[in-house]
Amino acid sequence: MNPKKVHSEEELVAGCVRNDRYFQELLYRRFFDSMFRMCMRYTSDREEGLTILNNGFLRVFRKIDKYSFKGSLEGWIRRLVFHCLSDHFRGKSKEIHFLEIADRDAPDYANALSKLYFEDILDLVDQLPPATREVFVYYAIEGFTHREIAEKLTISEGTSKWHLSSARAKLKELLKKNKLHYAG
C-alpha cells in the first residue's frame, strides 16, 4: 500500500471491517485529534483522556461493520467515543454535567438535567432537526465557536447562533415534556 495515498472513507471502513491493521491505523490517525480534543474537554488528565479515546476506538473497530454511511463517519465515531466517555465517568461514579442546556437563571429543571444519563441527553439531542442538531453538537459538545461552525457548515455566524438558540429552546421543551420521567 502506498502510505502517501489518501483513502476514501469507504476504503477506510472496508479495510477496518476486514480487520486490516493498516486501515485501522489510518482511521485512528485521521480522527485522533478531534476525538482527543473532545475527550480532553471533560478531563484535565491526558492519560485519562487517552484511555477514554482508545476505549472509544476499540468500540469503533468492534462495531465498524454496523456503519451504514448514513450521516458522517466522523459523527458516528464521535458518538461511540462519547458513549465511552460517558461510561468512563459513570463507572467512576462521578456526577458530571456533559451539556449545559438550561439558562443559569432557570433552575426549575436543574434537578431533572442532573439526573439525566448521557444516553438520555443524546436521545433528546437526536430529536432536534438535523441542521440545528449539527450546530448544537459542534458548539455544546465539541466546543467550536460560532465562527468555526459557520466556516465548517458554510453558513453565517448569525445562522449558527440561531440554530443554537433554537436547539436550547427545543431541548428545554423536551425536558419539560419529559420532566416526570427524568425527575424520577
Are 112 and 175 in the same domain?
Answer: yes
How is residue 62 written as a grid cell? 468492534
Q: What's the mean pLDDT in 57-66?
A: 94
**Domain that residue 150 falls in:** 107-183
Predicted pLDDT at 118: 57
Are 149 and 177 in the same domain?
Answer: yes
Report the domain count for the chain: 2
- How far is 31 from 38, CA to CA, in rounded Å? 11
Does the residue 171 lie in any domain?
A: yes
* b/e code 52-62 from CB counts within 10 Å (16+ = b): bbebbbebbbe
Does the residue 166 lie in any domain?
A: yes
| pLDDT of 54 above 90 | yes
Instruction: Tell me the three state secondary structure of residue 38.
Output: helix
| CB atoms near residue 46 (< 10 Å) | 11
Residues 6+ apart with CB under 8 A from 154: none
Q: What is the CATH number of the domain that holds 28?
A: 1.10.1740.10
Are 16 and 64 in the same domain?
Answer: yes
Residues 6+ apart with CB under 8 A from 116: 124, 182
pLDDT tens sequence across 86-118? 888 776 644 444 554 444 444 444 444 444 555
Q: What is the CATH number of the domain that holds 166?
A: 1.10.10.10
**Which pLDDT band holds residue 172 (cuts at 50, 70, 90)?**
confident
| pLDDT of 170 above 80 | yes
